[in-house]
Structure 1
Amino acid sequence: MNDPTPATEPRAVTERYARRDAAQDAQRYSLYASASVLQAHQERLCAMRQLWRNHGWESLADLHITEAGCGTGGNLQDLVRLGADPTRLQGLELLPVRAAAARRQLPAAVAVLEGDALQARIAPGSQQAVLAFTLFSSILDAGFRTTLARQMWQWVAPGGGVLVYDFVVDNPRNPDVEGVPLAEVRRLFPSARITSRKLTLAPPLARRLPAALLAPAAIVLPFARTHRLTWAVKPLTSSP
């Protein structure tokens, strides 16, 4: 394992995202243009809602929720639609361009903080949930990944948790990311109570299927799912 490198890893992540954004086809990841992206998004949203309802949360209205690596704000928009109070939501985003886009698209009451999440001033135990969606897979330095996970864990109130959505296998076409299997999530949050389920039909396969077959294929081909949604809950008696 490498030592944590707070100064260099965020810069490396910024450079990797810049390369990715320059080469990325925006239409491929558009909810409107891509039926497979829309289906995966809806599946994930339904799974997140069910997971939290099973956790005992009948409403999101009174919960403080932070997303680390909020990008352009799509997940925070989903939380608002699910009933979260915008004044209790905040997003942390390293990349200035994405942070600016999130500010434009989100309700003004949602706080968007630009910069390294390790520098965010969030009180320990103040958040009922912290989201990390395709975040850890973009952090290649294992020491920094561990440091960030510990920081996020400190923000979580006992009985709350960290919600991780990420792919579980390496992408041979993209050396700038690394798969995050369930064992890695357990390592990052060793004292958590874990609930996890596999989601998301492998994108290369999903893009080739007709829209009408996407939902059935996701059901009958569980081995072809490439991502996990994992809820890592902090015990009520846990220390920060």
Structure 2
Amino acid sequence: MRDGVKVPVSDAVQVELAAVAERYARRAPTDRYSLLQPDVWQLVHERQRAWLQGLVARGLTDTAALQLVEVGCGAGGNLQEWLRLGLRPEHLTGCELLPERLAQAREVLPVNVRLVAGDASTLDIAPASQDLVLQATVFSSLLDDAVQQQLAEAMWRWLKPGGHVLWYDFTMDNPRNPDVRGVPLRRVQALFPQGRIHAQRITLAPPIARRVCALHPALYSVFNALPWLRTHRLAWIQKS
């Protein structure tokens, strides 16, 4: 549905992807997400710990054997993390809508990491071939329900039986940013109705994190101990 008019899914995808690219283009360059910022490195370290704990809890400790696709790989930061966790470059695939960000990823990742530009839902990935399919703050940038659904169906199709969609996204709307919307747990369940979902809230609300870390980085953990101040959900969604 677009402005009250129902359009075919294929057309909706093209409209929405063009809108996503335009929304990203409007964002002014900033160091807000630099790892040199104390709130950012604590956010990243918290998420890394959650990923590691999840791998161990599920017995996925032979990381060199794991196949992983990331939807919306950006400049390659998450794929670099998975390389450090022991995944092999030839077992990694990243898809990114924005050519300039994909070019940045190509500069920093090994040549045998597969990188693909364009619509992730049309990515040429063999069905039931992936152990993990990762998305980090992608679905909150997709404002069209049909586009979200098409991407979720593709991600699910790529998974092996027993594999997991690894989901990281924020749960509530940002009243200051109409270009994104929160994805509550009920929506995640609707997108992956056959999945077995284990979810946890993590990540101190970034505006709060920036303010308290400006006073002292240790305050991140203090405020993050309050569950209602955590704005993101990390979920493991298993394909039974």
On whether the aligned pair clears a TM of 0.5, the verdict is yes
Shift, 1:7, TM fit: 2.1
2:206 pairs, out of 200, 203, 208, with 203
What is the aligned-residue identity percentage? 50
Aligned length: 230
1:143 pairs, out of 143, 146, 160, with 146
2:20 pairs, out of 7, 13, 16, with 13
Matched, 1:223 2:221: no
2:218 pairs, out of 209, 212, 219, with 212
Matched, 1:31 2:38: no
Matched, 1:85 2:107: no
Shift, 1:58, TM fit: 1.3
SS at match of 1:163: strand
Alpha-carbon distance between aligned partners in 2 of 1:193 and 1:212, rounded to the nearest angstrom: 35
Shift, 1:212, TM fit: 1.7
- What is the aligned-residue RMSD (CA, Å)? 1.1
Residues 6-155 of structure 1 aligned to structure 2 (within 5 Å): 6-20=13-27, 23-25=28-30, 27-32=31-36, 34-155=37-158
SS at match of 1:30: coil
Alpha-carbon distance between aligned partners in 1 of 2:126 and 2:98, rounded to the nearest angstrom: 23
2:187 pairs, out of 167, 184, 188, with 184
SS at match of 2:201: strand
Structure 2 match to 1:172: 175
Structure 2 match to 1:232: 237
Once the two structures are superposed, residues 153-187 of structure 1 have per-residue CA deviations (whole angstroms, 9 ceiling, x without a partner) of 00011000111100001011110001011111111
- Give the letter for the 1:41 counterpart: V
- Give the letter for the 2:236 counterpart: W
Once the two structures are superposed, residues 105-130 of structure 1 have per-residue CA deviations (whole angstroms, 9 ceiling, x without a partner) of 11112111111112211010011110
Once the two structures are superposed, residues 179-209 of structure 1 have per-residue CA deviations (whole angstroms, 9 ceiling, x without a partner) of 0111111110000000100000011111111
- Give the letter for the 2:222 counterpart: P
Alpha-carbon distance between aligned partners in 1 of 2:175 and 2:53, rounded to the nearest angstrom: 32
SS at match of 2:202: strand
SS at match of 1:52: helix
Shift, 1:98, TM fit: 0.4
The runs of at least 4 consecutive aligned structure 1 residues that moved more than 3 Å come to: none
Structure 1: runs of 5 or more not aligned: 236-240
Alpha-carbon distance between aligned partners in 2 of 1:212 and 1:168, rounded to the nearest angstrom: 25
Shift, 1:24, TM fit: 4.2
- Give the letter for the 2:152 counterpart: A
Q: TM-score with structure 2 length normalisation?
A: 0.93
- Give the letter for the 2:21 counterpart: T
Structure 2: runs of 5 or more not aligned: none
Alpha-carbon distance between aligned partners in 2 of 1:6 and 1:169, rounded to the nearest angstrom: 23
